[in-house]
């Protein structure tokens, strides 16, 4: 029960006092739907119609890539795999590298082609490699979306192509795109691809150029994915990192390619200008707490959540950290047991309240161990 309480505190308390998302009039943009999210904390800094369901076009491939990366991490597929193009993969339209049925490429080249050039044929080949068929893979996409809390998303394919009748039900939101984009950025290996500007596959015979122009023209750009169809409009999930803070700007349904990049830059610039990350533990060193009748005489508490907190830049010089610990604790001590609290404030605002917990269990001394200690004390 104590571990469950600790988990709840860990998930909820660090959110206290976080910045409130700005509205559309704060940063005027062209797109009908947009959001700005901090990667480290998941805090939404700006939103405009962020829960309006819209077609995502090739931004869909963020989820496709997430499932591929998770399959690689789980050992279900390997970086050493060769991926074979089926007839279905080779027959995909839209952006592609023109795979032939039966053609084989390395996992590296397949991923590179999807990330850099948004290749629908390679995305389909990877989906089939992971799940056996695109249909089975799409089932996994929707299941993973539900797990991530993407409440307004439904996928019908792994590419975002919307020229089939059933694709009318292929919908998501700016908020949900930001959620899956954040999950994808949790896989550091994907950044090897999302930051490529130009490259080649097939031994240099086929050139790739990144559809995300921010990779070349925006300082700190780290990704992530563009999309366009006539129905969806111009879409983008753009990520960038400066001074230790990484942000995701999602744009859906913009009226031109240039506008989607300008909108994303405006959101990112606003976010970097106004927000920063702070270490809640900076300058804080919890002291050992005596353990009464325990097999260890003391325990040093550790934060249940050691992640950074998001602050407005103007708060940086006003942060106060207040440590509150129990004077002692009686054994047995359970792993995860709350032993104190770290409060981070700025003026009257509570920015974070982080539980400090026992990192390991300390059993209670047995009757025999107590007598042995007493005896040894007499001898000494």
User: Which residues make beta-bridge pairs with 240?
Assistant: 221, 247
CB contact burial 161-186 (16+ within 10 A = b; e otherwise): bbeeeebeebbbbbbbbbbbbbbbbe
What's the alpha-carbon Rg for the chain, to the nearest Å? 25
What is the separation of C-alpha 202 from the centre of its chain, rounded to a whole number of angstroms?
Answer: 32
Q: Is 61 a catalytic residue?
A: yes
Q: Is 95 a catalytic residue?
A: no
Helix, strand or coil, per DSSP, at residue 207: strand
CA 168 to chain centre: 27
**238: nearest Cα among 209, 217, 208, 207:** 217
- Mapped onto helix, strand or coil, the DSSP state of residue 193 is helix
Evaluated on CA atoms 138, 229, 51, 12, the torsion sign reads: positive
Contacts of 75 (CB under 8 A, 6+ apart): none
User: Of the listed 118, 181, 237, 346, which one is catalytic?
Assistant: 118
The CA-to-CA distance between both ends of the chain, in Å, stands at 41
Q: Output DSSP code: residue 56.
A: -
User: Tokens for 220?
Assistant: 């700190």
Active site positions, annotated? 58, 61, 118
């Amino acid at each position: 029960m104590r571990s469950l309480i600790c988990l709840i505190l860990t998930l909820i308390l660090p959110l206290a006092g976080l910045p409130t998302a700005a509205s559309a009039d704060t940063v005027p943009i062209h797109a009908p739907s947009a959001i700005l999210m901090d990667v480290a904390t998941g805090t939404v800094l700006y939103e405009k119609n962020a829960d309006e369901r819209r077609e995502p076009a090739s931004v869909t491939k963020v989820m496709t890539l997430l499932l591929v990366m998770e399959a690689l991490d789980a050992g279900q597929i390997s970086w050493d795999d060769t991926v074979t193009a089926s007839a279905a993969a080779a027959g995909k339209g839209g952006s592609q590298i023109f795979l032939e049925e039966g053609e084989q490429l390395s996992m590296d080249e397949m991923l590179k082609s999807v990330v850099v050039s948004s290749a629908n044929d390679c995305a389909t080949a990877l989906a089939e490699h992971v799940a056996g068929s695109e249909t089975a893979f799409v089932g996994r996409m929707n299941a993973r979306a539900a797990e991530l809390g993407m409440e307004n998303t439904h996928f019908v394919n792994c590419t975002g192509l919307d020229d089939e009748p059933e694709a009318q039900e292929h919908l998501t939101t700016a908020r949900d795109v930001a959620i899956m984009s954040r999950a994808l950025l949790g896989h550091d290996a994907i950044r090897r691809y999302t930051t490529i500007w130009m490259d080649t596959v097939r031994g240099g015979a086929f050139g790739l150029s990144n559809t995300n122009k921010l990779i070349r023209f925006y300082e700190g750009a780290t990704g992530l994915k563009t999309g366009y169809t006539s129905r969806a409009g111009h879409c983008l999930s753009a990520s960038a990192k400066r001074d230790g803070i990484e942000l995701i700007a999602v744009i859906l349904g913009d009226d031109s390619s240039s506008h989607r990049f300008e909108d994303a830059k405006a959101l990112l610039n606003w976010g970097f200008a106004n927000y920063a990350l702070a270490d809640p533990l900076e300058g804080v060193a919890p002291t050992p707490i005596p353990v009464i009748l325990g097999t260890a005489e003391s325990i040093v508490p550790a934060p249940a959540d050691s992640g950074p907190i998001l602050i407005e830049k103007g708060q940086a010089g006003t942060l106060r950290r207040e440590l509150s610990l129990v004077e002692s604790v009686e054994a047995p001590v359970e792993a995860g047991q709350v032993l104190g609290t770290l409060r981070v404030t700025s003026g009257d605002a509570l920015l974070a309240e982080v539980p400090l917990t026992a990192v390991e269990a300390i059993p209670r001394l047995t009757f025999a161990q107590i007598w042995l200690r007493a005896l040894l004390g007499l001898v000494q």
